[in-house]
């Protein structure tokens, strides 16, 4: 409970800023359900702050589900289920933790029922705690909670103006174990292993030897696996599931091929719970025409949900689909190169792609990367689409700052960059990315270090920095989606401006200002007489003779018009 008190207290300190940011968003909830166009959607997602968490590693809100399905904690270090769950995410949400960071969307690892057993892929005995080893696309993983928990979480997020992305896996099933029977041969291929030399050796192959690859390229009708129908029968829902599948195939006229079953199952969660978008797993490992089919059905499901739940509808923004095309970065434009052919994923259902280049770009000149991203997203090849930047992630062994030497600079770079920002859980608490005894990606997936926050050391100051930047970003879509302009090289000063629906949003950021009194030229971004608010210190100042004078204890200044 100590950690809860600390988290709540820290939120109160920043309460004023958080409330102003929240009111602006929640005030419009449910009122504007006019469909938005893709340009507006790109603004929403390029200015979004997406909080990505591993549900099993975030917060344990319900200890009764910790050993669901009889799984033991006998895996290698950080490779068993650790107790985190949907109830824990909800609890954190209700405490205002995500609001305090300016988070506009939550992306959780997949919540579907995982394989019951474990496998060793060479990194030690591992369970499906991460959610990417599906056993049943129609059930919630009991270690993470129930459908009621899921509904409560999505509804609570929407009430706060926060969107929820479902992490969707269609490329592969979970591994086969002593407790998890193989999928039929007409559903999956079990070889050869992908070697990434060209398109075929990236798509028509197994990602790793233990992951059966769904035959997403086949149109051949297949029967449901007996293991699945027997499971549904035991759970008393066989007839309902079969009837729903009959309806789906009758409506769509799709053949009963493997991918269409999975598309039906994945989109049902959107139709019933109102997920605002997908984060598509392993997007480059199945055909891009499949993602277009999935998007089409998901849009239909989202429209159905909106029609059935008018009071819960956030706004008119369309269903969003963001892809994990491993290795994609904005410099590649729209054409991802497989070696023997290129694919424009944005032309196949994706509204946004994860940017695997940011962690490297962030280490270079800030103005170079800010200018390049802003130009690409506003006038260049990426106009009308979104990217999602990150400094660390669950699969990336070479993050921006593996040793967490620069948790302040990481926030400044990530949260002020053009494009969407992904906060990976614990970036804001400098959660260690090296864990004694852990092998491979387990290092990146330790349980959330709430205890560091409770200690009240420098972790508190790090979190406060992330919160100030996150709230500034949330209050000002110009930060992520506006036109970037360098105003001064040293100390670095830049502006971002964005005009939407006749309203303009403009900000001016000044770095390396030193603590104490500083005089900052505003370069005509704000006319004389404009009252400005520094989002970092909370200080106010009026523009006089083209400049403002501020006395703050910080060397970062985040200026916007006082509203
Ligand atoms: Ca639990
Ligand atoms: Ca595949």
For 152-170, the pLDDT digits (tens) are: 999 999 999 999 999 999 9
Dmax (CA) for the chain in angstroms is: 77
Q: Has residue 6 got a pLDDT over 70?
A: no
Read off the pLDDT of residues 454-468 as tens digits, 9 standing for 90 and up: 998 899 999 999 999
55 Cα–ligand 1 center, Å: 10
CB 71 within 8 A of CB 121: no
Centre of ligand 2 to C-alpha 211, Å, is 10
17 pLDDT tier (thresholds 50, 70, 90): very low
Q: What pLDDT, in 10s, does the model give residues 219-268?
A: 999 999 999 999 999 999 999 999 999 999 999 999 999 999 999 999 99
Judged by DSSP in three states, 558 sits in strand
CA-nearest of 336, 381, 380 to 357 is 336
Residue 406 phi, psi (nearest 5):
-135, 60
Query: Which listed ligand is nearest to 142 at the C-alpha?
Result: 1
Q: What spacing in Å lies between the alpha carbon of 559 and ligand 2's midpoint?
A: 48
Task: Return d(Cα 204, Cα 201) in angstroms, integer.
Answer: 6
Distance CA 9, CA 19 (A): 15
Ligand nearest, relative to CA of residue 288 = 2
Q: With 70 as the cut, is the pLDDT of residue 5 above it?
A: no
* Stretch among 4-13, 118-127, 189-198, 380-389 having the lowest mean pLDDT: 4-13
Percent with pLDDT over 70 in the chain: 94
Whether 33 shows a pLDDT value over 80: the answer reads no
User: For residue 18, what pLDDT band results from cuts at 50, 70 and 90?
Assistant: very low
Ligand 1 centre distance from Cα of residue 69 (Å): 13
Location of structure tokens 């139709």: 271
Say how many residues make up the chain.
563
Interacting residues of 555 by C-beta distance below 8 A, sequence separation 6+: 511, 512, 513, 514, 515
> How far apart are alpha carbons 390 and 359 in whole angstroms?
6
| Cα 107 to ligand 1 centre (Å) | 19
For residue 361, pLDDT over 70 is answered with yes
In this structure, which ligand is nearest to the CA of 172? 2
Residues recognised as catalytic: 281, 324
The pLDDT value recorded for residue 207 is: 96
Q: What is the mean pLDDT of residues 20-27?
A: 36
Question: Which pLDDT belongs to residue 35?
Answer: 64
* Rounded-to-integer distance, Cα 228 and Cα 466, Å: 45
Distance (Å) from CA 189 to ligand 2 centroid: 9
* pLDDT at position 502: 80
Ligand closest in space to the Cα of 211: 2
Q: Determine the distance from the C-alpha atom of residue 117 to the mean position of all C-alpha atoms in its chain, rounded to a whole number.
A: 28
**Residues 48-55, mean pLDDT to the nearest whole number:** 98
- Write the burial class of residue 109 (CB in 10 Å: 0-12 exposed, 13-18 middle, 19+ buried): buried
Q: Rounded to 5 degrees, what are φ and ψ at 107?
A: -120, 115
Residue 60 Cα to ligand 1 middle (Å): 5
Percent of the chain's residues with pLDDT above 90: 91
Pairing of β 320-323 and β 352-355:
parallel
Residue 14: is its pLDDT beyond 50?
Answer: no
Cα–Cα–Cα angle for 465, 470, 474, nearest 5°?
155
If phi > 0 it is left, if psi is from -120 to 50 it is alpha, else beta; for residue 178 that is alpha
pLDDT at 501: 77
Ligand nearest the Cα of residue 61 is 1
Lowest mean pLDDT among 2-11, 347-356, 407-416, 540-549: 2-11
Other Cβ atoms within 10 Å of 243 Cβ, number? 10
**550 neighbors 518 (Cβ within 8 angstroms):** yes
Query: Residue 486 forms beta bridges with which residues?
Result: 494
* CA atoms of 471 and 484, how far apart (whole Å): 19
The CA 63 to ligand 1 mean position distance, Å, reads: 4
Q: Is the model's pLDDT at 216 over the cut of 50? A: yes
CA of 216 to the centre of ligand 2 (A): 7
- Residue 205 has what pLDDT? 98
Distance 56 CA to ligand 2 centre (A): 26
CA of 450 to the centre of ligand 1 (A): 16
What does the pLDDT average to over 381-395? 97
pLDDT one-digit tens code per residue, 271-308: 999 999 999 999 999 999 999 999 999 999 999 999 99
Which ligand approaches the C-alpha of residue 63 most closely? 1
CA-wise closest residue to 188 among 220, 140, 232, 233: 220
**Using CA of residue 393, residue 394, residue 396, residue 402, what is the dihedral sign?**
positive
Nearest ligand to the C-alpha atom of residue 86 = 1
Q: Find the 506 Cα to ligand 2 centroid distance in Å.
A: 44
């Amino acid at each position: 409970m100590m950690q809860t008190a600390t988290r709540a207290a820290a939120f109160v300190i920043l309460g004023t800023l958080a409330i102003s940011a929240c009111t602006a968003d929640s005030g419009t909830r449910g009122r504007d359900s006019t469909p938005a166009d893709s340009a507006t959607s790109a603004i929403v997602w390029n200015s979004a702050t997406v909080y990505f968490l591993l549900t099993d590693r975030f917060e344990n809100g319900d200890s009764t589900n910790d050993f669901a399905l009889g799984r033991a904690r006998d895996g290698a270090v950080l490779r068993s289920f650790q107790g985190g769950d949907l109830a824990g995410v909800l609890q954190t949400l209700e405490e205002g933790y995500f609001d305090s960071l300016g988070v506009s969307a939550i992306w959780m690892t997949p919540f579907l029922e995982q394989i019951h057993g474990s496998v060793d892929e060479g990194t030690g005995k591992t369970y499906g705690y991460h959610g990417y080893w599906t056993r049943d696309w129609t059930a919630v993983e009991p270690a993470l909670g129930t459908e009621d928990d899921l509904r409560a979480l999505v509804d609570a997020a929407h009430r706060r103006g926060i969107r929820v992305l479902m992490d969707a896996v269609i490329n592969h099933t979970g591994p086969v174990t002593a407790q998890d029977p193989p999928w039929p041969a007409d559903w999956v291929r079990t070889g050869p292993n992908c070697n990434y030399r060209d398109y075929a050796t990236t798509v028509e192959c197994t990602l790793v030897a233990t992951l059966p690859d769904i035959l997403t390229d086949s149109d051949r009708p297949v029967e449901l696996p007996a293991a699945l129908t027997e499971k549904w029968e035991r759970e008393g829902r066989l007839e309902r599931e079969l009837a729903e599948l009959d309806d789906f195939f009758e409506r769509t006229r799709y053949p009963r091929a493997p991918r269409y079953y999975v598309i039906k199952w994945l989109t049902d969660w959107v139709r019933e719970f109102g997920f605002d978008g997908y984060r598509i797993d392993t997007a480059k490992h199945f055909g891009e025409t499949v993602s277009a089919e999935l998007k089409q059905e998901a849009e239909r499901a989202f429209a159905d949900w909106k029609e059935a739940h008018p009071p819960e509808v956030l706004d008119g923004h369309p269903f969003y689909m963001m892809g994990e095309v491993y290795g994609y970065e904005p410099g590649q434009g729209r054409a991802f190169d497989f070696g023997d052919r290129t694919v424009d994923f944005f032309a196949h259902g994706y509204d946004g792609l994860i940017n695997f280049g940011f962690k490297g770009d962030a280490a270079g000149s800030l103005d170079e990367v800010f200018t390049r991203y802003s130009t690409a997203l506003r006038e260049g090849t990426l106009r009308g689409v979104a990217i999602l930047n990150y400094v660390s992630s669950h699969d990336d062994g070479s993050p921006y700052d593996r040793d967490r030497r620069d948790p302040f600079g990481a926030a400044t770079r990530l949260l002020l960059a053009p494009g969407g920002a992904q906060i990976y859980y614990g970036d804001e608490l400098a959660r260690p990315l090296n864990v004694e005894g852990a092998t491979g990606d387990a290092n990146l997936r330790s349980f959330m270090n709430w205890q560091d926050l409770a200690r009240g050391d420098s972790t508190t100051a790090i979190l406060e920095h992330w919160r100030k930047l996150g709230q500034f970003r949330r209050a000002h879509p110009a930060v992520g989606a506006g036109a970037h302009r360098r105003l001064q090289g040293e100390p670095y000063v830049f502006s971002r401006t964005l005009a939407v629906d006749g309203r303009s949003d403009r900000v001016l950021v000044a770095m390396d200002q030193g603590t104490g009194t500083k005089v900052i030229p505003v370069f005509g971004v704000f006319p004389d007489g404009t009252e400005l608010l520094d989002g970092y210190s909370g200080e106010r100042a009026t523009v006089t003779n083209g400049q403002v004078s501020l006395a703050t204890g910080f060397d970062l200044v985040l200026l916007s018009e006082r509203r």
